[in-house]
Amino acid sequence: MSHPATLPPCPDPRTGQPRPPRAPLVRDRNPNAPTERGKQHNAPRPPHEASPMVEWFHRSRARSLLARLTLVSVIFVIGVFMGGVDLPRVLVFWVTLGSWALISGLRKHNPSLSAGVDWLTHENGNFVLTYQLASVEVAGTKPHQSLRLVDVYGNEFSSDLDDPQRNRELWDLVYNGILHSVHVNGATISQSARDSLELDNPLRFRGE
């Protein structure tokens, strides 16, 4: 199936404009939420010959740890307010929940990705040309699905499907490349990817 005349155009690699339309999301997210990117200098870098970085996502482990410690502190304050201060219980509380916050915060999955108009890369070194994909695969069941992209040069990108969607602007760029690879270049696509990414939805061809 080919829809080259009706697909959203590829943005200019140097400016990133015009931005592609909104891509479908695996998980429900607030459409009005501000784009979360993190610090650009922490985002993975593409090969030197690639077009400029346009979007990125990086969340530090320190931020995840701080969020968990804040939650534990709130629970502690509520407990004190309702039951008073009992030193043995306070010690047990902080040893138990404090340890949980520390361990889970340090082990939490915090992907670091970046994208140009026509490429996507991961902190683990995965890099693909999104408008030259040879295959697109989605495995697993919602909301725990994985994405695997392989371009015509054999480069591969693998991650949780949710990872590139954490920055919606980044996902819009990637999705537009997937659309073109499938409907213009004839990339091989799994049925799960076809369904999950709505790649046969005519509205996507018109950017709606």
Range among 59-63, 129-133, 189-193, 198-202 with highest mean pLDDT value: 129-133
CA distance 204 to 175: 10
Residues of the chain with pLDDT > 70, as a percent, come to 65
52 within a domain of the structure (yes/no): no
23 within a domain of the structure (yes/no): no
Contact criterion met (CB below 8 Å) for 164 and 176:
no
148 plus 164 within the same structural domain: yes
177 plus 128 within the same structural domain: yes
128 plus 184 within the same structural domain: yes
Residue 166 clears pLDDT 90, i.e. is over it:
no
22 within a domain of the structure (yes/no): no
Model pLDDT, residue 93: 55
Mean pLDDT along residues 11-27:
89
Domain endpoint, select from 107, 124, 140: 107
149 plus 135 within the same structural domain: yes
Mean pLDDT along residues 41-47:
85
95 within a domain of the structure (yes/no): yes
Give how many domains the chain has, as a whole number. Answer: 2
pLDDT digits (tens, 9 = 90+) for 80-98: 565 555 556 555 555 665 5
120 plus 97 within the same structural domain: no
Residue 186 clears pLDDT 70, i.e. is over it:
yes
| CA angle, 36 then 42 then 44, to 5° | 95
Confidence of residue 106 (pLDDT cuts 50, 70, 90): very low
**Which range of residues forms the domain containing residue 82?**
61-107
115 plus 132 within the same structural domain: yes
Model pLDDT, residue 98: 57
Model pLDDT, residue 12: 94
CATH code at 159? 2.30.29
151 plus 73 within the same structural domain: no
172 plus 196 within the same structural domain: yes
pLDDT digits (tens, 9 = 90+) for 129-161: 999 999 999 998 877 799 999 999 999 999 999
Residue 207 clears pLDDT 90, i.e. is over it:
no
74 plus 123 within the same structural domain: no
Domain endpoint, select from 107, 142, 174: 107
When the pLDDT of each residue in the chain is averaged and rounded to a whole number, the result is: 79
Question: In this structure, are strands 112-115 and 119-122 parallel, antiparallel, or unpaired?
Answer: antiparallel
144 plus 196 within the same structural domain: yes
Domain endpoint, select from 75, 107, 139: 107
135 plus 68 within the same structural domain: no
